[in-house]
Amino acid sequence: MIEHILFDLDGTLADTADDLANALNAIRLKHGLTTLPNEVIRPTVSLGGNAMIKLAFDLEEGDTGFELIRDEFLNYYRANIAQETCLFEGMEELLNSLESENKPWGIVTNKPSWLTDPLVKAMSLDKRAACLISGDTLEHRKPHPAPILHACKLMQSNPATTIYIGDAQRDIEAGRRAGTKTLIALYGYIDDGDNPADWCADGMVSSPFEIHDKLSEFCN
């Protein structure tokens, strides 16, 4: 039986893509470039800031100008962190159901705490989540299992009765290595070139509305 639920943040719990795309395009405009369509940026969101900088500016970490661009991008995003961000449709209903069933839920993300904390607070989730693990909480980040194991420790949960839900291959790898059940959020930021069927998850969902029923399946 699944007793504790852990979510990735961007692309699983919350739809953050528009705010991140707006920040990226604002910096492109600052540097004399045209904006990119949000649908082009969206698949890179779960890959992190470095991947977004590579997409928008053709810069790799270590290239001249990379650090400056990344700082401008992240600082702009921090100042406008929850303008359009919201829970995915059906997620509020799911969280309410979990809370009514006394099933604690938490967040494990690779997003750094200086961005995670204000975002979660702006969405009024800081008092609801049983734990919040950011990318800099520990020495290791996903796909290392340590963040998920740390979340289980904080929630006093057994990984075997915990599920981790994410929209990236590293999410599923981290959950599997930690010994939790895993669920792929197909509604998240998955690139057309990805093949989630190869990630060896315990299940997939196309919408948050499907998650509660999927959790019930693990009880049978």
Q: What is the pLDDT of residues 1-44, one digit of tens each?
A: 899 999 999 999 999 999 999 999 999 999 999 999 999 999 99
Q: Which is the catalytic residue, given 8, 15, 19, 171?
A: 8
pLDDT band of residue 220 (cuts 50, 70, 90) is: low
Pairing verdict, β 14-15 and 86-87: antiparallel
Q: What is the pLDDT of residues 136-181, one digit of tens each?
A: 999 999 999 999 999 999 999 999 999 999 999 999 999 999 999 9
* pLDDT value for 112: 95
Tell me, yes or no, if 8 is annotated catalytic: yes
* pLDDT value for 46: 82
Percent of the chain with pLDDT over 90: 93
User: Could you tell me which of 153, 101, 110 has the C-alpha nearest to residue 130?
Assistant: 153
Q: Which is the catalytic residue, given 10, 15, 167, 171?
A: 10
Return the amino acid letter for 152. C
Alpha helices in the chain (DSSP H): 17-30, 38-41, 49-57, 66-79, 91-100, 113-122, 146-155, 169-178, 211-217
Asked if the peptide bond before residue 143 counts as cis, ω within 30 degrees of 0, the response is yes
Q: Which domains does the chain have, with CATH numbers?
A: 4-15+85-217 (3.40.50.1000), 17-79 (1.10.150)
Q: How many helices (H) and strands (E) does the chain have?
A: 9, 8
Q: Which residues are within 8 A (CB) of 217 and not within 5 positions of it... i.e. 6 or more apart?
A: 203
Say what the pTM is: 0.95
pLDDT band of residue 217 (cuts 50, 70, 90) is: confident
Tell me, yes or no, if 198 is annotated catalytic: no
